[in-house]
Amino acid sequence: MPQVLKPTTDLANRIAQVYSSLSGAHRRAADFVLQNPLDTATMTIEGFAERCGASTATVTRFVRALGYGGYGEFRTALSAALRLAMAPVDSLADAHNTKSSAFSTVVMAIKDQAANLEETLAAIDEKTCSQAMEAMLRARRIFIVGSGASHHVAAHLEEGLTLYLDANVIFASSRGGPEKAIRHIMSVGPDDLVLAISLPRYSRGTVDLAKLAKNRGAAVLALTDAPSSPLVPIADITFYAPARNRLLPNSPTAAFALADAIVAAVARERPDAVAALKELSESLLWTFYQ
């Protein structure tokens, strides 16, 4: 079975963005790349053109339509995309080939997460926290977007912020699919805040929703892993939570901790938070197991 290029890589995203405007010959080239990236990465321009049933000039126009200067630059980008897509697989394969116990693997994974938490703490600064609190407290509505592992972080934020904020908190990227998320974001305006969460491998959908919100005048607060994240150039405010994991594509541990800290800070800033929590606790009194 051929290795398919994942839609989370930059090259696949470029193809997706221009696919509808490509000519028939260029679409055949795009389809071949997406379905056979390993083969394509080793082909000369002549070999690639032959496999696609096109001329070398057509291939050159195709890679330029993707934003690359030439076939060599395109092939370099493809190799980088393959390294990104296959890194977790390679790491897991190495782990399987190394003698170790389940216990040592668990300890290693927890140590990795402890390191992520330490880096998250080191990246926090007072100015960013103050700006984020001000933006959340003044927003008319807060739209939260996130998919994959970030979906669960987003759900945690929605539950916490809904309790302590006057703003209408909306989980835009719910399980309802991309159409529902787009409909939500199409309604945003200058009085709204979009809280976008994305960890490697970054979701193109989340990045596109953040761009749409920014274009419509909303403020964007990003929760992501590093300055290289595609959310950073879009966001007005950014929190960083490293998501490294030696055996998996990412880990949301630090992002969950940061989300929890954001909710705690909002609760502390709201003067009526105690009354809100008291009301909730009283209403749920008989639902607790005691």
250: containing domain: 115-285
Residue 3 falls within a domain, yes or no?
A: no
Paired tokens of 98: 């190394």
The sheet carrying 219-224 orders its strands as 168-171, 141-145, 192-198, 219-224, 237-240
Q: Do 61 and 168 sit in the same domain of this protein? A: no
Tell the burial category of 153 from Cβ atoms under 10 Å away from its Cβ (0-12, 13-18, 19+).
buried
User: For residue 192, what is the domain's CATH number?
Assistant: 3.40.50.10490
Q: What pLDDT was estimated at residue 2?
A: 41
> Contact, 105 vs 39, CB < 8 A?
no
Q: Do 126 and 83 sit in the same domain of this protein? A: no
Residue 104 falls within a domain, yes or no?
A: no
Residue 158 falls within a domain, yes or no?
A: yes
Q: What pLDDT was estimated at residue 229?
A: 86
Q: Do 58 and 187 sit in the same domain of this protein? A: no
HSE of 90 in the Cβ direction (CA atoms, 13 Å)? Answer: 6
Q: What pLDDT was estimated at residue 270?
A: 75
Number of domains in the chain: 2
Q: What pLDDT was estimated at residue 91?
A: 54
Q: What pLDDT was estimated at residue 139?
A: 96
Phi, psi of 97 (to 5 degrees): -90, 0
Residue 95 falls within a domain, yes or no?
A: no
Question: Is this prediction's pTM over 0.85?
Answer: no
Q: Do 60 and 158 sit in the same domain of this protein? A: no
Residue 101 falls within a domain, yes or no?
A: no
Residue 108 falls within a domain, yes or no?
A: no
Q: Do 61 and 158 sit in the same domain of this protein? A: no
Q: What pLDDT was estimated at residue 105?
A: 82
Q: Do 33 and 132 sit in the same domain of this protein? A: no
Q: Do 273 and 217 sit in the same domain of this protein? A: yes
Chunked into runs of 10 residues, the chain (290 residues) has average pLDDT values of 53 81 92 87 92 94 94 89 63 58 86 90 92 95 92 92 89 71 92 94 88 96 89 94 82 94 89 61 53
> Contact, 224 vs 198, CB < 8 A?
yes
Task: Tell me the pLDDT tens digit for each residue of 124-150.
Answer: 999 999 999 999 999 999 999 998 889
User: For residue 58, what is the domain's CATH number?
Assistant: 1.10.10.10
Q: State the Rg of the chain over Cα.
A: 22
Q: Do 157 and 249 sit in the same domain of this protein? A: yes
